[in-house]
Structure 1
């Protein structure tokens, strides 16, 4: 099977947590892992066997180069990463436990990525012969300069005829720079895009349309498909270029018991994946990125079968819940096994 070239663009982060279920205010030791939405998608694709290049800007320090080495060891092409700036962006993650929800605290001010400017990245060279270009709302959320660099990339990808993929990834706490307008900016980004992923909460925020409730505690829950279909039809009128929309839905029964499903609206047809019951969640971070990585790979695996694309994406996302850290380290064979056994 021919390998497809995929490029993802965003900020690589260093994630800090306390061991086990400790709160951030407890203990003396932090554990660290690299991650970040677009890097997570790149790793997922590389593990599944795709040719994927990740673009970011990192500090020219041991910490920055260690991040590059981590990605390269997992099969991601890191040859186009830029170096410069002051520091790597970080975030602090406190895992959920029982009725205690997870907490995330970002520390990304003055990161190397936040100082990225248009003209720094040779997009025409990088996007040459590229099948898919993937960005998310986070790429434009960090600073005005990063937003401008993102739109430069989108314009060139458009000019070259590259299929543009988008994850809403709305993070309210990231939009802090002067003059930032998240809904307007993300809507401008969507006008460039051909396919989009987001969770139901993000779809509701973007469209300002109340979502039908997803309160499944097991696989017997009945979805309100008529209401979802009307919602997707409205969204398509607002963003007519987008022909393929995938929405992930998660219900947190408790900290280690989740239910997960997804819908795919493709050129007027609405498809529903089965509801997966996940009773032993290890780490919920990066599940949306696993959906995106699974979807891009599934398009190659099942080019004429949208239902299989949807179900494969769900299987990939479900597996991510079993893996510590941001990255989905599930292979195509492992995802196919879950697809065949659970879906």
Structure 2
């Protein structure tokens, strides 16, 4: 079986305990993550052969990290050793990735400074059938955006399936270009697009009703997702699958979650998942993306693809850390408990 290649920036997440406890106790945990690495970790956990490509400085910390990833059955041979630092971010315990309390410290990281014309894409893409990246990668720097385009062109020449997660991080995109100036040029190569109707609006300029929440019905949200998918299919003819997620956070971490998968001729909806408690919100969307890749790779039916992906994302909310440790069997059990609410 050929491999999935995940490409993006590796990050170390430092979650300071609330109310300054991390200072008084002189402790702060470290989680290894990054959107694309979280996808790679999930796929490796589920038995999918996977490669991971990023840029790291050539030092002992990077060696510890690559050893750690190899123990998770992730092929780290595509990693480029250059530059001087690993990107960091600080996120308060329990906060969401889009929270204003999220502090990025990744300027001049190895990934953000990696130039085009250096990476041997023919070698890295050998024995690869799927290439995955997210909108976070080109948001980091202008050189990273150019590198993404270089990688996508190389993958497209080899007829490799390409997927993108339309992660929108407004705290990034600080190098003088708006997402709408960059992302459409990259998404034109993609066969699978995942995100939500709001990120499609911000990153691709696809219309979304500003009053969408007024009705607040699932029927209305699903109709909007279908319209978004139709715009994507028309604007980006290479795209064959569009997935949109809907997560509504209520009081006291009460969460309602579902997802939808559109093809040109069909829309398929996941069960509705609900929980009153959340352990960690980080990485849930990445877990969904991994589930989507897993289902499409294994040629599952649309109902199984979207159901598994949504259950994987929902299950990740109950796990601490950036990437899931849940097995395929556990995710299928989560799905089975919620199948009664399929539309």
TM over 0.5: yes
RMSD of aligned residue pairs (Cα, Å)? 2.1
**1:68 pairs with 41, 66, 69, which one?**
66
Deviations 1:114-139 (A, max 9, x none): 11111222111121231110011111
C-alpha deviation, 1:215, in angstroms:
9.0
Q: Which runs of 5+ in 1 are unaligned?
A: none
What TM-score, normalized by structure 2, do the two folds share?
0.90
**Secondary structure in structure 2 of the residue aligned to 1:260:** strand
Mapping for residues 96-175 of structure 1, pairs under 5 Å: 96=94, 103-175=101-173
How far off its partner does 1:286 sit?
A: 0.8
Secondary structure of the residue that 1:173 maps to in structure 2? coil
Secondary structure of residue in 2 paired with 1:205: helix
Give the aligned partner of residue 237 of structure 1: 234
Larger % of helix: which? 2
Query: What is the TM-score normalised by the length of structure 1?
Result: 0.90
Matches of 2:74 and 2:214, distance apart in 1: 35
Preserved CA contact (<8 Å) 1:11 1:139:
yes
Taking the aligned partners of 2:106 and 2:232, their CA distance within structure 1 comes to 32
Tell me the CA shift for residue 64 of structure 1: 1.9
Structure 1 residues 64 and 103, CA gap change in structure 2 (3 angstroms): same
How many residue pairs get matched? Answer: 331
- Give the Cα separation in 1 of the matches to 2:215 and 2:282: 20
Q: What is the CA–CA distance in structure 2 between the aligned matches of 1:184 and 1:200, rounded to whole Å? A: 18
Q: Residue 287 of structure 1 contacts residue 318 of structure 1 at CA under 8 Å; is this kept in 2?
A: yes
Displacement of 1:259 in angstroms is 1.1
Mapped partners of 1:15, 1:312: distance in 2: 27
2:12 aligns with: 14
The equivalent residue for 1:187 is 184
- On the 8 A contact 2:230/2:264 being kept in 1, the answer is no
Contact 2:22 2:28 in 1 (8 A): no
Deviation for aligned residue 1:214: 9.4
Give me the whole-angstrom Cα distance separating, in 2, the residues matched to 1:24 and 1:143. 34
Q: Is the 8 A contact 1:114 1:142 kept in 2?
A: yes
- Check whether the contact 2:39–2:287 (CA below 8 A) recurs between aligned residues: yes
| Residue of structure 2 equivalent to 1:278 | 275
Distance 1:25 1:109, change over 3 A: same
Residue 327 to residue 228, structure 1, CA distance change in 2 (3 Å): closer
Separation in structure 2 between the aligned mates of residue 214 and residue 295 of structure 1, nearest angstrom: 30
Assess, with a 3 A threshold, how the Cα gap between structure 1 residues 66 and 181 changes in structure 2: closer, same or farther. same
Match of 1:223 in 2: 219
Offset of residue 291 of structure 1: 0.5
Structure 2 unaligned regions, length at least 5: none
Task: Give runs of ≥4 in structure 1 deviating > 6 Å.
Answer: none
Matched, 1:204 2:207: no
Partner of 1:252: 249
- Deviation of 1:154 (Å): 0.5
